[in-house]
Amino acid sequence: MKQLNFAIVGCGVIAFTHAKSLESLREKDCVLYGACDIIPEKADAFAAEHHVPHVYYDHHDVMADPAVDVVCVCVPSGTHGEICKAAAEAGKAIVCEKPMEITPERIDDVIRTVERTHAKMQCIFQRRMMPAAIAVRQAIRDGKFGRICLAGADLRYYRDQAYYDSAGWRGTWEQDGGGALMNQGVHGIDLILWMLGDEVTSLCGRADTLARRISVEDTAAAVLKMKQGGLCVIQGCTTAYPGFSTTFYIHGEKGTVVFSDDGIQEWTFLDENDAPPRPDAGERVGGSSDPAKISNYGHIHLLGDLADAVREDREPCIPPREASLAVRVICAIYESTRTGAPVTF
């Protein structure tokens, strides 16, 4: 098996999770080869901590290094597109942190470049690896719920002012692209839409800044109308002390499921003989009160899948087109907030 050399661009909070995940992928011949940050001391310290042999202070140098096979994009969200496009043009495979970019236009720009260059690109939405989410998605596809009437994602995080003050890009429209929805809630919005596998036809949303000194929202709610008729309710904030397990519910004509980061609270079907098997709870996801406490489980799977995709010349499990829907919905919630009117897709 050919060794795959990974380089992490952006040596901040989430880079640690990538480095730890790559340690677990040594048996797949995945190696953390390079670390890059525009702040040299951060790149140097990260490389020393994780024994990374090559250090760069400019992402162009990463792209110019022919030994780098895969670039992990761990920079602020509004810079993802620039780095992803540079990596694709340089013939590298890409792992891009969520959100892939912060507007539909920028996302489309990345998708065009990735498709033209045939770059392999994996987008990170690690919650899709939760056994409960996989089982719910399959049960919906198998018709086990019947018609879905009401679904929801309850995304109540806690981030204090110190979190927003810890890096200049946090809580800004320019680099974070939004707040409680675009940064934290994007995980849960992606997950509920992925499980439902249905199209959003319209939505009404409201987002406000109520408790933090930031320009983006810290509190938001929206109602989505789905093509197959059901409603999907999203509520998200970073103001819910002390931070709650993100919770998802599906109520269909034939059954109900409620699950959260803590496990499955309800797995009930009218016809017990036709009920899908209750899945294992899986590893705790974490992060509702502290972003540094995210489990590595999903990242290990997604980085490993990207390595397999490169070697097998196939698409990774979360390619860019798939990863774009949550950002399109979040931007529509912002638009609905601005205009006071529903947004139709």
Residues that bind ligand NAD (CB under 6 A): 9-14, 36-39, 42, 59, 74-77, 79, 97-98, 124, 126, 167, 183, 287, 291, 294
Residue 170 · residue 163 · CB < 8 Å: yes
The answer to whether 244 and 165 have CB atoms below 8 angstroms apart is no
Tokens of 12: 């901040």
**Is the CB of 198 or the CB of 322 nearer to ligand NAD?**
322
Q: How far apart are CA 121 and CA 92, in angstroms?
A: 9
H helices of 2-158, in order, are 13-24, 40-50, 59-64, 80-89, 104-117, 131-141
Q: How far apart are CA 78 and CA 239, in angstroms?
A: 23
What minimum distance in Å lies between the beta carbon of 81 and ligand NAD? 11
Q: Give the nearest distance from C-beta 96 to ligand NAD in angstroms.
A: 9
Shortest CB 146 distance to ligand NAD, Å: 33
Q: Which amino acid is at 221?
A: A
Task: Determine contact, residues 176/75, Cβ cutoff 8 Å.
Answer: no
Cβ-closest residue to ligand NAD?
12
In terms of CB distance, is 98 or 212 closer to ligand NAD?
98
Phi first, then psi, for residue 143 (nearest 5°) are 75, 15
User: Closer CB to ligand NAD, residue 39 or residue 149?
Assistant: 39
Shortest approach of ligand NAD to residue 25 CB, angstroms? 17
In whole angstroms, the minimum distance from the beta carbon of 116 to ligand NAD comes to 22
Rounded to an integer, what distance in angstroms lies between the CA atom of residue 212 and that of residue 220?
A: 13
CB 76, min distance to ligand NAD, A: 6
Q: Do residues 240 and 289 touch, judged by C-beta distance below 8 A?
A: no
Count, residues in the chain:
345
Please name the residue that has the structure tokens 């919005």. 189
CB of 189 to ligand NAD, least distance (A): 13
Q: What phi and psi values does residue 175 have, to the nearest 5 degrees?
A: -115, -25
